[in-house]
Amino acid sequence: MVNDAFCAPFGCGQGDILETGLYTWLERIDTSLVQRWSRLVSKVYLDGRCSNVEIVIPTKAGAEYFHVTASLLKQAHDRDVNVIISIWHNITALKQTEAALRQERDSLEVRVAQRTAELARANEALLIEIAEREEMETQIRRSLDEKGVLLKEVHHRVKNNMQIICSLLILQSDYIKDNNYKDMFRDSLNRIRSMALLHEKLCQSSDLANINIKAYILGLANTIFGAYKVNHSVTLTLDVDEIPFNIDTAMSCGLILTELISNSLRHAFPDNRKGEIKVSLHQNINGDFNLTVKDNGIGMPKGFDFRNPNSLGLHLAVSMVENKLNGQIDLQGNDGTEFCIIFKEILT
């Protein structure tokens, strides 16, 4: 005897199963089911009960799974026969869920394995790329170091060559009797020394593209004072910001200062007159640079036009300011001579 819940998955009624008998009905579906059921019945007869047995019955739609939770041997009240009472739970939905979960788990494991393999390959490729980049960086640093050494060597050799030129000019000047020619030689020497000093500062610096203009101006002014053999009657005052200038700008400033400081030392303090030369360089809020060279000497002659001088020095200074630095230069004549220059750094 079966109930409707058992019959529903198979599309039959209780009468269909009772008419043929459970054994025959099971045998029509699958002979292995009869063997399975026979073993279950035998166990019930021997032990009086059987539980936790799983039976699978195939159907046209797939398979139905049953979990036998209890099977008890009972004697019928009205007849001298034994019957088996079995409680079957249809666990098909549970099995389908478990199968779906297993499939999802297997699929997930496959995807995880694939992603892990992809990640491993990506990591390996990344490690190779990092190693290649590190090697490239090492080569670049080595190349830059080599270029830095070579560039320093170039500056060193340029400085040495300029010093040789200065020495030759000094030797040649010993044969010159005319003081005007001697002054011309000295001015040329100072210009060469200003450029040689720039290359010397670059040799000593870790930055081969820029130069500390304050240190450069200090060394340049001392060199010019030494060339004119100035005693303590004329003093130098510097008010210069520590500004990094590129080589072109520093070179132009050096030549301009060489001419203006030389001009003050040569003309502003006759007869060992005491005095002071002030050099200042600052950057204003507009980004322009203000360079001032001032002395408290006798000043320029009345009506003097510094843009049309008779000497090369001032002409060179004005030309460097206006043409090289694209700046402006003005002359103030109160209490000595004061040149005020405004310029921008040369773009390289």
Give the predicted TM-score (pTM) of the model: 0.59
Torsion, Cα 279 284 286 290, to 10 degrees, reads -10
**CB distance 327 to 344 below 8 Å:** yes
pLDDT tens digits for range 162-199? 788 878 887 888 878 888 887 787 888 888 888 888 87
Instruction: Please measure the distance between the N-terminal and C-terminal CA atoms of the chain and give it in whole angstroms.
Output: 104
Average pLDDT of span 96-121? 90
Q: 211 pLDDT band (50/70/90 cuts)?
A: confident
The alpha helices in 48-178, defined as continuous H runs, are: 92-173
**CB distance 337 to 295 below 8 Å:** yes
Residue 90: pLDDT above 90?
Answer: no
The 3-state DSSP class for residue 84 equals strand
Torsion, Cα 22 28 33 38, to 10 degrees, reads 50
**CB distance 237 to 277 below 8 Å:** yes
Q: Count other Cβ atoms within 10 Å, centred on residue 95.
A: 17
Structural domains in the chain? Answer: 4-98 (3.30.450), 207-343 (3.30.565.10)
Average pLDDT of span 121-129? 92
Q: 71 pLDDT band (50/70/90 cuts)?
A: low
Residue 278: pLDDT above 90?
Answer: yes
**Is the CA virtual torsion 19, 22, 26, 27 positive or negative?**
negative
Q: What secondary structure letter does DSSP report for 103?
A: H
Phi, psi of 231 (to 5 degrees): -85, -170
Structure tokens of 257?
A: 């200062």
Structure tokens of 286?
A: 């507009």
The 3-state DSSP class for residue 149 equals helix
Q: What secondary structure letter does DSSP report for 272?
A: G
Q: Which amino acid is located at 228 in the chain?
A: Y
Distance separating alpha carbons of residues 17 and 22, to the nearest angstrom: 6
**CB distance 223 to 260 below 8 Å:** no
Residue of 111 and 42 predicted with greater confidence: 111
According to DSSP, the β-strands at 82-90 and 244-246 are unpaired
**Mean model confidence pLDDT for the chain:** 83
pLDDT tens digits for range 291-300? 999 999 888 8
Question: Which residue carries 């001298």 as its tokens?
Answer: 80
